[in-house]
Amino acid sequence: MKAALRKFLNTSELGALNEVIAIDHEHEVAPEEAGISPAEAEEIWQSVIDLYLTGTQPAITFCMRRQGKIVFNRSIGHQTGNGPKDKPATQKILANPDMPVCLFSASKAITALLMHMLVEDGLVNLLDPVSYYLPEFAAKGKRNITIHQILSHRGGIPRLAADTPVETLWDEDRVWQLLCDAKPLSSSGNELSYHALTGGFVMGRVLEKVAGINIQQYLDKKIRDPMDMTYFTYGTPAANRHKLATNYATGPRPTFPVTIVVKRALGADIGTVEQVVNSPEWYSSIMPAGNLVGTSEEISRFYQMMLNGGEWQGKRICKEDTIRRAVQEYGTLQFDRTLMIPMRYSAGLMLGGNPIGMWGKNSRHAFGHIGLLNKLCWADEARDISVSLLTSGIPIIAHHIPALFGFVNSITRNCRRNREVRLTQ
């Protein structure tokens, strides 16, 4: 019966929890040191376990800082070998807290901050049209589309043409040509439609033009090296790929009308997405909106730097005003024509809300980004937390959704709002 249910739900095999959990005891502090009771911390960790027990996430890594201190840096599950379609004889490799994971769309937050740092460096004005820097982008009615509109998903080019072959993604020049030739859905900047990958290619092109180096080199210079990141790269070198979490399409396969939304948002069906995001080509490419690789601790570290107003361990990564601009709401709560839900965005990040929002109840001062619906990375200024939940399963509509919401709510419920708000208002 269990095997039949697992096949129907398309989930991983679950074993003894004590055999698949790893804890970074060296860096975790006692919850009380971060203003959380042991009972509150246990409830948060149990919500991660509950998500794992749905079987939709073969691996989970979780890092949470509060008041700048690491309360959790843990993993649960298998890096590879325990996907729904893996054979019993397939070698299973346990996950660990230092396991790098692809962030998918959660990469957009990092790319967005790089664009705001370009402003700090005096190299761009986000209110300028893209065509000011790259005249060829003006074609087909895109002359007045600004960098800011692209960052906030109002640029009118949410996806490549439906008949674009997947392998086109590996050819940056071809993608750029297609984007230049594309006719926008709207050039007014008033219509919200999530840009899954397209906006990242535009940002990367603008950055390279004005900075004279590619976006990976700029990331290394401005964030990765100063913050002493081990991974934190677009894609990852071949020598590191054996450490990566394998991505699995878990849960029941989407059916109509969900398939329409998936195709609109991702440009392909979920089976094709699974193949693409495990391919060598995916990790050999630079996709600013979709393939940054890092550990949960590194992503939490990034958001902690943002909470610190651009400072990390005595180093000034960027100005506090740069962080303020990056998290400033653009527009109001609006229906997203790609995601088919109401959303609040800044120029590059997904914002929380009151009485409820993307990052839980009373989360107006929270900002972050999701990745393929199942990776949740955010900071909440009022609660003084920086959170990264990275997963290897990519279910869409499945039985894990209550557990995913339960995880977010367990954090907002158990981390009381007690920090003076400076960055977001």
pLDDT at 424: 84
Dihedral class, residue 384 (left if φ above 0, else alpha if ψ from -120 to 50, else beta): left
Q: Is the peptide bond before 158 cis (omega within 30 degrees of 0)?
A: no
| pLDDT of the residue at 1 | 42
User: Any residues with CB less than 8 A from the CB of 319 and at least 6 apart, and which?
Assistant: 120, 310
Instruction: Tell me what percent of the residues of the chain surpass a pLDDT of 90.
Output: 84
335 Cβ neighbours under 8 A, 6+ residues apart: 192, 341, 342, 343
Query: In the chain, what are the domain boundaries?
Result: 2-100+246-276+293-414, 109-224
Rg of the chain over CA atoms, in angstroms? 20
DSSP state of 143: T
Within its chain, how far is the Cα of 117 from the centroid?
19
If you ran DSSP here, which 8-state letter would residue 313 be given?
A: T
For the chain, what is the largest distance between any 2 Cα atoms, rounded to a whole number of angstroms?
Answer: 63
Please state, in angstroms and rounded to a whole number, the distance separating the CA atoms of residues 125 and 147.
Answer: 8
Residue 246: predicted pLDDT:
98
Residue 165: DSSP 8-state: -
CA atoms within 13 A on the CB side of 237: 5
Q: Which residues contact 18 (CB under 8 A, 6 or more apart)?
A: none
Read off φ and ψ for residue 75, nearest 5 degrees.
Answer: -135, 160
**pLDDT tens, residue by residue, 67-116:** 999 999 999 999 999 999 999 899 999 999 999 999 999 999 999 999 99
Sign of CA dihedral 118, 119, 121, 122: positive
Q: Do 109-224 and 2-100+246-276+293-414 have the same topology in CATH? A: yes
CA distance 369 to 375: 8
User: Which helix H or strand E contains 371, and what residues bound it?
Assistant: strand 366-371
Model pLDDT, residue 166: 87
**Other CB atoms within 10 Å distance of the CB of residue 401:** 16
The two structure tokens encoding residue 421: 């708000």
Local structure of residue 222 (DSSP, 8 states): I
Torsions phi, psi of 223, nearest 5?
Answer: -130, -55
Q: What is the pLDDT of residue 2?
A: 76
Could you tell me the two tokens for 391? Answer: 């997963």
- Tell me the CATH number of domain 2-100+246-276+293-414, given options 1.10.10, 3.40.710, 1.10.150, 3.90.1070: 3.40.710
Residues across the chain = 425
What is the pLDDT, as a whole number, of residue 421? 87
User: Which three-class secondary structure state does DSSP give residue 184?
Assistant: coil
pLDDT < 70 stretches in the chain: 1, 254-268, 425
Beta-carbon contacts of 390 under 8 Å, excluding residues fewer than 6 positions away, are: 60, 61, 62, 101, 103, 245, 295, 296, 299, 371, 375, 377
Instruction: State the chain's mean pLDDT as an integer.
Output: 94
pTM of this structure? 0.96
Query: If you write DSSP's letter for every residue of 105-157 in order, what string do you get?
Result: GGHHHHHHHHHHHHHHTTS--TTSBHHHH-GGGGGGGTTT-BHHHHHTT-SS-
- Strand, coil or helix: 380: strand
Burial of 258 (0-12, 13-18, 19+ CB in 10 A): middle
Q: Which CATH class is domain 109-224?
A: alpha beta
Which residue type does 237 have? P
